[in-house]
Structure formats: structure tokens, C-alpha cells
């Protein structure tokens, strides 16, 4: 058995944690409870259909022909806002990567120091200054990040979300507060803490909320990422190799026995005899063949003089 690593590219929305539902290859992001959306859509379409079928013709004839036109525009506006709200990103914050989470943990441990056993560690918070006002950032143990201002961890989608201003609350819009801040009384003035996001003017607050730009999503849902998959593969050796290549037998070698002062005399004789029999035969030294000297001009001249003398 062997594991083979295969790398394939997937969309980031397929690996995003949380309980959100994605459709159309990540272009549409919805909550987990899709039944509430379908029920709301059914109620709006059903009541508007009854109005256009029974009430609208009478009002158009006896009151004004502009009523059906105004009702149709209002119906389209409501449906468009419902679809935009249901299919858009509510402000989900991406979770920290394993490397980032490890670095944040090291920073927290270095700042808090060693906590004695049995004592509760100090709260993990960071202080930032917004409009000359100190705002505390709380640490999320699930997302492994310090939540930005006005963000909280949603138990429904299991993600940290930037809390919006909930447009139907005119009171909150005029004060530039979120629903969470109003419930908790974050800027009630009991602790002499003022709202750093308010412009101290109802008109400016309403203009910022209603006429301000829509912030882009921080989730790269349709981005590509690589995923490593391990696939198990069986490798079987062919039988022909095992039959044609037999396993060679290994020979055991033992160290020669060396007699000492405690060894009996008869044992010393047997050890010496076994050593002689087990010793490899010595190679006979053959005499080196005689090689004639190499020829040179001097030796050739001497040989010719000797021949002349003999003749």
C-alpha cells in the first residue's frame, strides 16, 4: 500500500468554514435557514397578487390610474431588495490561517506572560483609538482573530460578522448605532463613553447610512486554491520475478576462537586443529617471468660490437 498525493484546484467557497449556503458556483451566499427566505418570498408575492387581482382594478378606475403603476414599482423594489439582502455577503470576516493563528497565540502569550496554574488567564483584548475614543477589540476563539469594531460572532452562520445598522430602525440610523450596541447599551453614557461613530448630527448620520457606499466583501469566494488529496495505491510485484530471482542464502561467519590461560590443554589442541583446517589455503608464489630489457640506441651499439668481435 502506498499513498499518492494529487493536487487539484477548488474554489475557496467550497472550503470556507461556517454554516452558510452557496449557490451558482459561489456567486450567491445565503443563510442556513433557507426556508425563511422562501416563506417571505411566498407571502410577498401572494399578497401582492391578491392586491393586483382584486383591489387594483377598482382603484385604477375610481381613484387614479397611477395606483397600479406605483404599486408595481413598489413591488419590484421590495423584491429586488429582498433578493439583494438574501443573496449578498452580510459582512463575514475570514478566519485566520493556521500560520496566522499560531503567530497571534505567540503574541498573546508573550504579552500575558506565564499564568500560574489554577488562575484564569487575562481577557484577550486589544485597544484601538477611533475619533479620540478607545474601543476594545475582543478575541474570537472560534475564528482565531481579534474582531474589528462593531463585529460579533454569529451563532447562526458560525462566523464573525460586521453588524449592520438594520435600515428599518430609524432611531438607530439617526444615532448611528447598531442593534447589538443599542441592546447592550454600549454608548448609553453611564460610563461617560460616547459613540465614536456618530457625527453628533441626525442628518449627517442618516446621509452616511442611506447614501454612503456599500463596502465590498472581504471573502474571495470564487478564488482558486490548491487541495492535496492522498490516494492509496497497491503495488504488486510480478510472480515471474520471484520465481526467476531466488533469494540468495546468507552465510554466517563466526569469529575464530582464541585460547586463554583458563582453556584446557586438550581444548587448545582442538582449537589449533580447527584453525588450521578452516584457514584458507595460501597462494603459491610463482617466479616472476624474465622480461628482456627494453631496446635503446646504446644497447644496440654494444650488441653490434660484440658480434664483430666474435666474428
Any domain includes 59: no
Any domain includes 109: yes
Which position has the higher pLDDT, 75 or 190? 75
DSSP calls for 148-200: PTTEEEETTTTEEEE----TT-HHHHHHT--HHHHHHTTTSSTTS---TT--S
The per-residue pLDDT for 48 is 95
Q: How many domains does the structure of the chain reveal?
A: 1
Of the given ranges (30-44, 168-182, 226-240), which has the lowest mean pLDDT?
226-240
The 10s digit of each residue's pLDDT in 163-215 is 654 444 667 777 777 777 776 777 766 666 778 878 888 888 888 877 887 77
Any domain includes 68: no
Any domain includes 56: no
The 10s digit of each residue's pLDDT in 280-308 is 554 444 555 554 554 444 445 454 544 45
Any domain includes 106: yes
pTM above 0.75, yes or no: no
Contact 199, 176 (CB under 8 A): yes
Any domain includes 23: no
Any domain includes 22: no
Give the C-alpha separation, 43 to 95, whole Å: 36
Neighbouring residues of 260: CB distance < 8 A, sequence distance ≥ 6: none
Any domain includes 240: no
Neighbouring residues of 203: CB distance < 8 A, sequence distance ≥ 6: none
Give the C-alpha separation, 195 to 175, whole Å: 9
Residue 106 pLDDT > 50, yes or no?
A: yes
Nearest one of 147, 165, 248 to 206, comparing CA atoms: 165
**Cα 7 to chain center, whole Å?**
14
Q: For residue 127, what are the domain limits?
A: 95-149
Residue ranges in the chain assigned as alpha helix (H):
34-50, 56-62, 66-87, 98-112, 170-175, 179-184, 202-211, 239-244, 265-278, 297-310
Amino acid at each position: 500500500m502506498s499513498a499518492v498525493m494529487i493536487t487539484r484546484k477548488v474554489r475557496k467557497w467550497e472550503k470556507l468554514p461556517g454554516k452558510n449556503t452557496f449557490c451558482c458556483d459561489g456567486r450567491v451566499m445565503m443563510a442556513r435557514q433557507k426556508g425563511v427566505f422562501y416563506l417571505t418570498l411566498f407571502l410577498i408575492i401572494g399578497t401582492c397578487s391578491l392586491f393586483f387581482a382584486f383591489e387594483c382594478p377598482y382603484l385604477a378606475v375610481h381613484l387614479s390610474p397611477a395606483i397600479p403603476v406605483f404599486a408595481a414599482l413598489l413591488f419590484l423594489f421590495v423584491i429586488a431588495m429582498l433578493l439583494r439582502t438574501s443573496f449578498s455577503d452580510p459582512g463575514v470576516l475570514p478566519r485566520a490561517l493556521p500560520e496566522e493563528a499560531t503567530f497571534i497565540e505567540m503574541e498573546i502569550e508573550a504579552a500575558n506572560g506565564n499564568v500560574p496554574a489554577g488562575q484564569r488567564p487575562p481577557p484577550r483584548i486589544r485597544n484601538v483609538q477611533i475619533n479620540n475614543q478607545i474601543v476594545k477589540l475582543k478575541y474570537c476563539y472560534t475564528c482565531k482573530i481579534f474582531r474589528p469594531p462593531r463585529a460579533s460572532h454569529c451563532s447562526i452562520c458560525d462566523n464573525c460578522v460586521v453588524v449592520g445598522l438594520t435600515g428599518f430602525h430609524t432611531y438607530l440610523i439617526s444615532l448611528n448605532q447598531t442593534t447589538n450596541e443599542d441592546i447592550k447599551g454600549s454608548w448609553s453614557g453611564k460610563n461617560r463613553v460616547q459613540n465614536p461613530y456618530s457625527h453628533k448630527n441626525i442628518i449627517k448620520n442618516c446621509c452616511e447610512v442611506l447614501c454612503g457606499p456599500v463596502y465590498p466583501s472581504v471573502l474571495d469566494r470564487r478564488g482558486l486554491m490548491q487541495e492535496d488529496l492522498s490516494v492509496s495505491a497497491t503495488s504488486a510485484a510480478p510472480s515471474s520475478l520471484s520465481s526467476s530471482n531466488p533469494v540468495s542464502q546468507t552465510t554466517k561467519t563466526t569469529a575464530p576462537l582464541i585460547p586463554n590461560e583458563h582453556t584446557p590443554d586438550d581444548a587448545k589442541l582442538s582449537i589449533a586443529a580447527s584453525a588450521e583446517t578452516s584457514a584458507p589455503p595460501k597462494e603459491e608464489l610463482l617466479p616472476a617471468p624474465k622480461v628482456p630489457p627494453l631496446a635503446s640506441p646504446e644497447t644496440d651499439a654494444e650488441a653490434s660490437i660484440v658480434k664483430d668481435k666474435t666474428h
